[in-house]
Amino acid sequence: MRRVRYESRGGPLFMEEAPVPEPGPGELLVRAEAIGVTLPVVRKVGEAAEPVPLGGEIAGEITAVGEGVTRFGTGDRVTGLCFGHGYADFALLHEAMASPIPAEAGAVDAVALVRSGLVALGALEAARPEPGETALVTAAASGVGHLAVQLARTRGAGRVVGAVSGPAKAGFVRGLGADHVVTYGDDTWGAPVDYALDAVGGELLTPALAALAPEGRLVAYSSGGGIIQAYDLLVGAKSVIGFQMARIARGKPELYEQWREELWRLFAAGELRPVVHGEFALQDAAKAHGEIEARANLGKVVLIP
């Protein structure tokens, strides 16, 4: 089979031939039909001290199952997060991370909706939104952010603000339902909000925190790190909540499944619309990474083997 990997920090990415892996206990072997490209994986290529497998969201058909698998069988179509080599014709997916794809949905829909949607929905749940509250979503045009904008609206947000890297993305984010769009360099982000969902981290934590009204909540779910001054929390009685999807998947599988069902329900009802920025061939993985590195994507970037 074909597989994409790299040998040193910063790349380059290259294609190689590799044996088709064998599923171990609790694992599914999936023939990939679509692979979602994520910012954390793109960052790892440039930052990790040692090369790591290019994992990520995959969707496709199960061709073999490992010992102990009970929920799925060969021929089933699934999507989920692969922690090993995911940029490949075949990839291993742990049963606990797998979600069935409805008959009416395609593989591209699945990788654009499920994992990114789970992160967006989980971050939103962590904010404990109340109907009528105002919301801020950073990286609002990204694979996760464009779903978070829509989900905030479905949860009754009275006003939704999208923060993006440049004004060229404003029309796209407004089309998702945002009432107001700001860019990271703006002097002010408008009227204060009740909660903020931050996917960027780093230096953006300070303006995101400043955008909160007194007693506002900032949910940090970025891999970008960052520092917050305690005084900035004290003066407005604000709070910061860390959210990590893996803790839900491992520790609260019932909730994980409930969220997945909600995403597919909203998708079927037309209330949640995943947008694909571009579909790239597997051998063009470097170009796909370049779109995310340049902050050029509007929605999800997907590889098609």
Is the pLDDT at 108 greater than 80? The verdict is: yes
Write down the pLDDT at residue 251. Answer: 86
Tell me what the mean pLDDT of segment 121-137 comes to: 97
Task: Provide, for the chain, the percentages of residues in helix, strand and coil under a 3-state DSSP scheme, each rounded to the nearest 5.
Answer: 35, 30, 40
pTM of the entire predicted model: 0.90
Query: Residue 126 has which token pair?
Result: 């962590």
Is the pLDDT at 223 greater than 80? The verdict is: no
- DSSP for 231-259, written as a single string: HHHHTTT-EEEE--HHHHHHH-HHHHHHH
CATH class of 2-101+275-304: alpha beta
The domain segmentation of the chain, as residue ranges, is: 2-101+275-304, 118-245
Write down the pLDDT at residue 245. Answer: 85
Is the pLDDT at 131 greater than 80? The verdict is: yes
Is the pLDDT at 241 greater than 80? The verdict is: yes
Write down the pLDDT at residue 163. Answer: 98
**Residues 10-65: pLDDT tens digits?**
889 999 999 999 999 999 999 999 999 988 899 889 888 889 999 989 999 999 99
Instruction: Count CA atoms within 13 Å of residue 252 on its CB side.
Output: 11
Classify burial at 146, counting beta carbons within 10 Å of its beta carbon; exposed 0-12, middle 13-18, buried 19 or more. buried
Write down the pLDDT at residue 197. Answer: 98
Furthest CA-CA distance within the chain: 58
Write down the pLDDT at residue 247. Answer: 85
At residue 54, what are phi and psi to the nearest 5 degrees?
-85, 95
At residue 259, what are phi and psi to the nearest 5 degrees?
-65, -40
Tell me what the mean pLDDT of segment 164-175 comes to: 96
3-class DSSP assignment, residue 118: helix
More confident residue, 250 or 19: 19
Write down the pLDDT at residue 53. Answer: 93
Tell me what the mean pLDDT of segment 277-301 comes to: 94
- CATH code of 118-245, in short, is 3.90.180.10
| Whole-number percent of the chain with pLDDT over 70 | 100
Tell me what the mean pLDDT of segment 153-179 comes to: 97
**Residues 51-97: pLDDT tens digits?**
999 998 999 999 999 999 999 999 999 999 899 999 999 999 999 88
Tell me what the mean pLDDT of segment 108-113 comes to: 94
Residue at 125: amino acid letter: E
C-alpha 19/C-alpha 214 separation (Å) is 56
Ramachandran region, residue 191 (left: φ > 0; alpha: ψ -120 to 50; beta: rest): beta
- Per-residue confidence at 224, pLDDT binned at 50, 70, 90? confident
Q: What is the mean pLDDT of the chain?
A: 94
Tell me what the mean pLDDT of segment 217-243 comes to: 90
